[in-house]
């Protein structure tokens, strides 16, 4: 995979984790913060680190914000700074800006001003954990953004029979894309395929549809 040019703004716990992990994975990472100590903390763990105020348009222009494939705005508490940094990055031409929001209100504002992706790490992890606890047979979830996800579900007694009889598409509006049987993956299985205990089915669907299926499986 081609190395990405990444700019991480705000080096709290979240931003530091994003920056150092991307660097470890072989990507080019520029990390900035207004706080000198935080910048020093990542100095040897990223490509380049600098003390910079991301609310200053000129500062972002000078580091060439539009040249980065991805800009991550990881400023949490100072919502105004997160908004300004996101707005500046977008208006200067950054192609893809991911911003962290501390609450729902901030998320809505950030989406409105053009953030390409807004995440709420504590909230999103909380939802994920709750789903895992509520339906332990969900093996894995891949969020696709814009409300779609791919999930892997371990078959339980509620999923007996052939795919045709189960009719998950008609009943839940989710599509079976693969069956994982002891590590052997069958992609786009036939309608006659019978599910067996311990099979894992991989499904794609809208988040609400997948939630409805989760509830059904957990009953
Ligand atoms: P975390 O949960 O990731 O530890 P947080 O949500 O508490 O962080 P803050 O501590 O508010 O977030 O902000 C993260 C970092 O962003 C801090 O290190 C802070 O110095 C930095 N920061 C705040 N304002 C700016 C700015 N204008 N430009 C650059 N960095 C900034």
What distance in angstroms lies between residue 128's CA and the mean position of ligand 1's atoms? 24
Domain count, the chain: 2
pLDDT, tens digit, for every residue of 57-92? 999 999 999 999 999 999 989 999 999 999 999 999
Task: Provide residues with CB under 6 Å of ligand 1.
Answer: 9-15, 32-35, 38, 53-55, 74-78, 81
Q: Which domain holds residue 165?
A: 123-218
Please count the other Cβ atoms lying within 10 Å of the Cβ belonging to residue 49: 22
Q: What is the pTM of this model?
A: 0.77
Distance in angstroms (rounded) separating the CA atoms of residues 130 and 139: 13
What distance in angstroms lies between residue 70's CA and the mean position of ligand 1's atoms? 18
What distance in angstroms lies between residue 66's CA and the mean position of ligand 1's atoms? 21
Give the residue, out of 10, 39, 49, 73, with the most ligand 1 atoms within 8 A of its beta carbon, to mutate for a pocket test: 10
Query: Which atom of ligand 1 is the closest one to the Cα of 15?
Result: 3
pLDDT, tens digit, for every residue of 107-151? 999 999 999 999 999 998 898 888 777 766 666 777 777 688 888
Q: Is 105 in the same domain as 14?
A: yes
Please count the other Cβ atoms lying within 10 Å of the Cβ belonging to residue 205: 23
Q: Is 82 in the same domain as 135?
A: no
**Domain end residue (candidates: 96, 119, 142):** 119
Which two three-digit tokens encode residue 85? 């940094």
Q: Are 82 and 99 in contact (CB under 8 A)?
A: yes
Q: Is 152 in the same domain as 174?
A: yes
Distance in angstroms (rounded) separating the CA atoms of residues 162 and 35: 59
Q: Is 109 in the same domain as 20?
A: yes
The pLDDT, as a whole number, for residue 119 is 95
């Amino acid at each position: 995979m081609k190395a990405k040019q990444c700019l991480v703004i705000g080096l709290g716990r979240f931003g530091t984790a994003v920056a150092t992990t991307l660097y470890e994975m072989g990507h080019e990472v520029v990390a900035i913060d207004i706080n000198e100590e935080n910048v020093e903390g990542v100095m040897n763990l990223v490509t380049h680190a600098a003390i910079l105020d991301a609310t200053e348009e000129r500062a972002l222009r000078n580091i060439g914000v539009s040249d980065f494939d991805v800009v991550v705005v990881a400023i949490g508490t100072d919502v105004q700074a997160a908004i300004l940094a996101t707005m500046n990055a977008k208006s200067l031409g950054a192609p893809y800006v991911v911003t962290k929001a501390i609450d729902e209100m901030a998320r809505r504002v950030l989406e409105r001003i053009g953030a390409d992706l807004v995440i709420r790490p504590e909230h999103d992890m909380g939802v994920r954990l709750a789903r895992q606890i509520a339906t332990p047979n969900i093996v894995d979830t891949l969020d696709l953004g814009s409300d779609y996800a791919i999930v892997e579900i371990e078959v339980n007694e509620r999923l007996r029979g052939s795919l045709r009889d189960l009719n998950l598409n008609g009943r839940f509006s989710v599509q079976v894309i693969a069956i994982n049987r002891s590590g052997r993956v069958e992609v786009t299985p036939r309608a006659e395929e019978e599910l067996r205990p311990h099979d894992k089915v991989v499904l794609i669907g809208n988040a609400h549809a997948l939630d409805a299926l989760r509830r059904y499986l957990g009953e």
